[in-house]
Chains A and B, each alone.
Chain A
Amino acid sequence: GAGVSQSPSNKVTEKGKDVELRCDPISGHTALYWYRQSLGQGLEFLIYFQGNSAPDKSGLPSDRFSAERTGGSVSTLTIQRTQQEDSAVYLCASTPIGLRGNTGELFFGEGSRLTVL
Chain B
Amino acid sequence: GENVEQHPSTLSVQEGDSAVIKCTYSDSASNYFPWYKQELGKGPQLIIDIRSNVGEKKDQRIAVTLNKTAKHFSLHITETQPEDSAVYFCAANANSGGYQKVTFGTGTKLQVIP
Whether A108 lies near B104 (C-beta < 8 A) is: no
Assuming the A-B contacts A42-B106, A42-B107, are A48 and B49 also in contact, with contact meaning beta carbons closer than 8 angstroms in the complex?
no
Q: Point out the residue from A104, A108, A110 that lies within 8 Å of B49, measured CB to CB.
A: A104
Contact residues in A for B106 (Cβ distance below 8 Å): 41-42
Q: Which of A45, A50, A103 contacts B103 (CB 8 A)?
A: A45
Stretch at the interface among B13-21, B36-44, B53-61, B73-81: B36-44
Contacts of B41 in A (CB 8 A): 110
Size class of A's contact patch?
20 to 34
Q: How far is the CA of A45 from the CA of B43 in the complex (A)?
A: 14
Q: How far is B56's CA from A8's CA once the two chains are assembled, in angstroms?
A: 40
Shortest CB distance A104–B (Å):
6
A35, A42, A45: which has the most chain B beta carbons within 10 Å?
A42
CB-CB under 8 A for A108 and B45, given A42-B89, A42-B107, A102-B32? yes
Cβ contact within 8 Å between B45 and A33 = no
A56 to B36: give the CA distance in the assembly, Å.
23
B43 touches A103 (CB 8 A): no
Contacting residues, chain A, for B42 (C-beta < 8 A): 110
Q: Note all chain B residues with C-beta closer than 8 A to A77.
A: none
B31 touches A102 (CB 8 A): yes
Min C-beta distance of A20 to chain B, whole Å: 19
Residues of A within 8 A of B31 (CB): 102
Binding site for B on A (CB under 8 A): 4, 31, 33, 35, 41-43, 45, 48, 50, 55-56, 91, 93, 97, 101-106, 108-111
Instruction: Give chain B's interface residues, CB within 8 Å of chain A.
Output: 31-32, 34, 36, 41-46, 49, 89, 93, 95-107
Name 15 A/B residue pairs within 8 A (Cβ), A-sorted. A43-B89, A45-B104, A48-B101, A55-B98, A97-B99, A97-B100, A102-B93, A103-B32, A104-B34, A104-B49, A106-B36, A106-B102, A108-B44, A110-B43, A111-B43
Beyond A33-B102, A93-B43, A103-B102, 4 extra complex contacts between A and B, CB < 8 Å: A104-B49, A104-B93, A106-B46, A108-B36
